Amino acid sequence: MTDVWAPVGAREVRVGLIGLGSMGRNHQRVLGSLSGVRLVAVADPDVSALAAATSGSRAQPFGEPMSMLSEADLDAVVIASPTTSHLPLTLAAVERGIAVLVEKPLAATPAEADLIEAAASTPGAPPIQVGHVERFNPAVIELGRLLETGWLSRVIALTSQRLGPSPDRIRDIGVTADLATHDVDILCAITGERPARVSAETASRLHSAHEDVLLGLMSFPSGIVASLVVDWLSPAARRRLTVLGEEGMFELDYVTQRLTFARSGTAGHRGPIGRDGQTVEGDLIELPVPTGEPLAAELASFVRVVRDGSQPLVDVTDGRWAVILADALLTAARERRIVDLAPA
């Protein structure tokens, strides 16, 4: 590594942006609203998109991202380019001592994720944060807080649903790497552990090169089980998570940031589910959630990391495991078997 990274402190943070797809444009919008941050360079091969992004701003345009990393004076870079480009761009930024926020998935394959993790662990390397934006969703944060305070003495099962129309922006990966990486990361964060084994089924209905439907099962060492379904076929977007425990069930909507809790009711003697009486429908509680834009919280968190050198909330290890789990789910579906995973 040619440059040793150091936190920038209180001065202005100079940021570059690679990729002007839908996510990249959102990053540009939010970066422009952050105090003490200046977008100094933008890179994208699309000439018209680049011209629109830099028109009327002080940001320098680059048609080639490697040139931007070499020539622009950057403290940090946001990589929102196609997944297959994440490895070379992230390694180049690390080599130059530039802090990185790389969109999820971290890499196209587990082997590539391993290489990024190795680079991040090099002494003097800059921080790398992975853009699992749902970790910054206010409803997810509140759910995590309530679980930590003991609303459920034991989590039994989780169900995750992420459905919607096919995106025009994705060409290099399937729905598992694009969408399921959100969910496997959240499921690991909620349970506080990595799965011991996974199984899955996939289908390709509209896409010839990649799967557009995934149904997966995950089993955790503690005995918690989780199911997830993701697709690019549903005519309406659905982004939901259910957490079932001894005392009741949380339901979370990622889009509306609505969080509810249904208390477990039993016919006869009150007790744990399935032990002392028949389970019946319990009271439903709407839980207050301070709404906010997850991407703004994510970028603000990244800027704090760049300023003070703290650990990213979602680091390379988290991002690597999301890639490993997506790959394991695809392997399970392709080979029609349960895939056992080595302990973390």
- In one-letter notation, the amino acid at residue 281 is E
Domain boundaries, the chain: 13-126, 135-292+326-339
**Alpha carbon separation from 62 to 46, 101, 195, 320 (Å, rounded):** 10, 19, 42, 29
Confidence of residue 171 (pLDDT cuts 50, 70, 90): low
* Tens-digit pLDDT profile for residues 4-62: 899 999 999 999 999 999 999 999 999 999 999 999 999 999 999 999 999 989 999 99
pTM over 0.85: yes
Tell me how far apart the alpha carbons of residues 181 and 108 are, in angstroms, rounded to a whole number.
11
pLDDT tens by residue, 107-141: 999 999 999 999 999 999 999 999 999 999 999 99
Reported as a pLDDT band with limits 50, 70 and 90, residue 275 is very low
pLDDT tens digit string along 90-112? 999 999 999 999 999 999 999 99
| CA-based radius of gyration for the chain | 21
Q: What distance in Å separates the CA atoms of residue 192 and residue 125, rounded to the nearest whole number?
A: 27
Determine the Cα angle at 32 with ends 31 and 36, to 5°.
Answer: 80
Q: Comparing C-alpha atoms, which of 287, 289, 241, 285 is closest to residue 265?
A: 285
**161, β-bridge pairs:** 229, 240
Q: Which residue has the tokens 């011991």?
A: 196
- Architecture, CATH, for domain 135-292+326-339: 2-Layer Sandwich (3.30)
Mean pLDDT of 187-200: 97
pLDDT of residue 170: 57
Q: How far is Cα 278 from Cα 267, in angstroms, rounded to an integer?
A: 5
User: Looking at the domain covering 13-126, what would its CATH class be?
Assistant: alpha beta
